[in-house]
Chains A and B, each alone.
Chain A
């Protein structure tokens, strides 16, 4: 393949292959090779978590959030699911010549408010302006450092057959709200993005029985489960009936032919936990406002073909593959 295409960026198989064949191959080091969302670094007596993420969402403003809020939550959540309390963020902005100052202010205030609710600070930043057309409006990169919780033992190698899989809430909200804001599809819904910081939810549930966590962003729940299955080696089986989804998101998906399992979420996490602790962790999660719709959706199996299986609500079964490219509204 000679050229990088949009499909390389959508979080699916092509992107994974590129990361392996180009980035890991050249930048090879024990931290990066772990392929975690964050890097765990020993710093004297402390253990730190370090991550980075870039934000190019369009449109910039959507129901439930904007690129500013997203840029804080994205990094805060990557740190949180690595078992760390986020503390310090950096923020780099690249802005297009002619960008509205009012919009820039609106985004910055959003960053401020989100930092406040997450309990983090932007401690260093960078700002660049480029010619018209060189970026689309504004691109933001944030990176962050967090302190790993004392009782956190997050490691993909700890996953075992029989472990239960918990999702913290409803799927597809973010992608649905972006879709409605972006295209002229003319539907009226109350759907808004679930974009939000998860660190307080994590701190209320963190314990040694949580073996692994990830937030199902680009590519959705199905893609994230595939990543986990590929990395730990075990099959995963989930039940469609147990997956929480809001009524209007489900209705929109049925109307447009979208599969909610592949739609991005920006305020949800998946936790792989030991079987015996599952119910306890679930009830703790449900006590937190961001986890009230949480549910156990499946378990890790002992078979090792690295596949994710879904039992459908009507008793059939199918394999959930990785996403390839963006979904589009269909008539068929």
Chain B
């Protein structure tokens, strides 16, 4: 019940933003985000960004997975 993918913020206008992934763009609501910035990756569901993706934590997780023996 949570189909959503990370998309990058290209433009911000008030409580809406234009996001993009793989060449697909859409205007979405960013009402639920705390101080979003251009270049942020956000999780987009049903036309709204429900949370920001922490890219540092993402890289950390990948590192842990790579280092698993």
Contact = CB atoms under 8 A, between A and B. Distances in A.
Direct contact of A and B (CB under 8 A): yes
Interface of A: 186-190, 247-248, 250-252, 254-257, 330-332
B27 A248 contact: no
B14 interface: no
Given A332-B1, A332-B2, A186 B23 contact: no
**Which of B2, B21, B23, B24 has the largest count of A CB atoms less than 10 A from its CB?**
B24
A186 B22 contact: no
B68 interface: no
A257 to B, nearest CB: 5
B3 A187 contact: no
Nearest to A255: B5
B44 interface: yes
Q: How many B residues touch the partner, as a band?
A: 10 to 19
A255 B45 CA distance: 8
B25 A188 contact: yes
Contact of A251 (B3, B24, B27, B45): B24
Given A255-B21, A256-B3, A257-B3, 15 more contacts: A186-B26, A187-B24, A188-B26, A189-B25, A247-B22, A247-B23, A250-B22, A254-B21, A255-B3, A255-B5, A255-B44, A330-B3, A331-B3, A332-B2, A332-B3
Interface of B: 1-3, 5, 21-27, 44-46
B24 A255 contact: yes
B4 to A, nearest CB: 8
Contacts of B44: 255
Contacts of A189: 23-25
Contact of B5 (A187, A254, A331): A254
Nearest to A186: B26
6 contacts: A189-B25, A251-B5, A254-B5, A254-B21, A255-B5, A255-B24
Contacts of B5: 251, 254-255
A186 B1 CA distance: 21
A332 to B, nearest CB: 4
A252 B26 CA distance: 11
Nearest to A256: B3
A186 B48 CA distance: 13
A251 B26 contact: no
Nearest to A189: B24
